[in-house]
Amino acid sequence: MIGDWVGFWDGPHFIYVNARHKDVHYRLIAHEIAALVANPDARVLDYGSGEALHAAMIADAATEVWLCEAAPKVREALAARFAGNGKIRVVAPHEIARLPERTLDLIVLHSVAQYLTPAGTGALFALFRRLLKPAGLLVVSDILQPNVAAAADAIALLQFAKANGFFFAATWGLTRTLFSDYWRVRSRLGLTRYGETAMIEKLSAAGFAAQRAPKNIGHNQARMAFYAKPYR
C-alpha cells in the first residue's frame, strides 16, 4: 500500500485547500508534539512528518529532532527548509532503521498508520520498540476508527476552517477533492482502520503498554491517538 501513497504525497495534490490551511494544520501539530516533549534534552522522531512547516517549534523544546519522510521531493524540501537549524535532521526511513538502540525519548507516528498495511504498521512498532528509551513515549495518532464515515472528516475540516479563517476555501476544496487523485487512490487502496482494542493489542504485541490518549493530535477528534510505553 505505502508505495502508491508515497507517490501521491510526493506529487501535486489538493489536500490543503490553501496556504492558510496548510500553515495552521502544521502549526497545530507542531504545537501539540512540542507539548509532549518531556524535557529539553529529549530526542524526538516525527515519523512520516510530511512538510512539517513548523518543526522548529518542536526543536525549541528538545535537543534533537528527526523528521523522517519517505517521499523524496518532500524530504528534499524539508532539508532545504531546515538547513540552518542544527537541531533538526531530515532522514529517509532506512536511515532511521540504522539508529542505535534506545536513542529516542519521544516517537510520534501521526496520520501514517492508515496508509500502511497492518503488517507494515506492526514492523514499525517493533522498530520503535528497539529505538525508544525505557522511559520513552510512543504516540500513535490520527487513527481512523472502523465505523466513522468520511463525512466526519469533512465536518471536522469545516469546523477547523471556520475557526481559522478559511471556511469558504475549505468548502470549495472538499468539492475539488472528491474529483482528485486522492479519492481515486483511496478508492483503489482503501485506508487501514483500527478499533481501540485492536490498536492496543497491536502495540502490546510489539512490547508496549498502551492506552487511548484523551485527545487526538490535530483538529480531527473523530480519530484516535494512543500513548504507548515500552514494557520494562
**Averaged pLDDT, 18-25:** 96
Angle at 114 (CA atoms; ends 109, 116), nearest 5 degrees:
85
Domain coverage including residue 199: 2-230
Q: Are 200 and 186 in contact (CB under 8 A)?
A: no
Number of domains, the chain: 1
Question: pLDDT of 47-78, one tens digit each?
Answer: 999 999 999 999 999 999 999 999 999 999 99
In this prediction the pTM is: 0.94
Q: What is the CATH number of the domain that holds 117?
A: 3.40.50.150
Question: pLDDT of 139-173, one tens digit each?
Answer: 999 999 998 888 898 899 999 999 999 999 999 88
